[in-house]
């Protein structure tokens, strides 16, 4: 599991190595991967509040070693109190969500790497547009 924390309204690149869910984790070979989707959800929600995929925020940087880059822009985490558009009903200014990635391969099989899922926290202390 990988937890991510960032400041609202900032740009951030996430360098990620996707590994399988085996006892001895190995990088997932992405050569035959046709789709990579990374999504952020409300803790108890099923509708993505933020979504990135290949050619729209995700770049495969090393297909044989399972390495990708996810580009988060300032507009992806706006500094409004609702954060990504979901009010948690908390008195905290930090908004906590969950994230996960999903891969689809040329043969139609899908995998959800356990290595890249977890909590996604947006701290509401940044200034919009800061990098």
Domain map (residue ranges) of the chain: 4-123
Contacts of 40 (CB under 8 A, 6+ apart): 48, 49, 50, 51, 84, 97, 98, 99, 120
pLDDT tens digits, residue range 60-111? 999 999 999 999 998 887 766 455 554 443 434 457 888 999 999 999 998 8
Q: Average per-residue pLDDT in the chain?
A: 80
Task: Show the CA angle centred on residue 104, arms to residues 99 and 110, nearest 5°.
Answer: 80
* Terminal C-alpha separation, the chain: 26
pLDDT tens digits, residue range 3-18? 888 888 889 999 999 9
pLDDT: is 72 or 121 the higher one?
Answer: 72
Q: What is 4-123's CATH number, 3.30.499, 1.25.40, 2.30.30, 2.60.40?
A: 2.60.40
What confidence tier does 49 reach under pLDDT thresholds 50, 70, 90?
confident
């Amino acid at each position: 599991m990988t937890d991510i924390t960032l400041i609202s309204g900032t740009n951030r690149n996430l360098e990620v190595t996707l590994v399988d869910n085996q006892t001895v984790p190995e990088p997932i070979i992405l050569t035959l991967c046709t789709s990579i989707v990374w999504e952020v959800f409300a803790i108890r929600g099923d509708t993505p509040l933020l979504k990135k995929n290949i050619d729209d925020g995700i770049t495969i940087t090393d297909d044989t070693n399972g390495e990708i880059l996810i580009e988060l822009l300032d507009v992806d985490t706006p500094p409004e109190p609702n954060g990504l558009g979901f009010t948690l009903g908390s008195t905290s200014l930090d908004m906590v969500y969950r994230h996960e990635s999903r891969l689809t391969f040329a043969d139609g099989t899908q995998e959800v790497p356990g290595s890249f899922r977890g909590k996604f926290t947006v701290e509401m202390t940044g200034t919009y547009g800061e990098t």
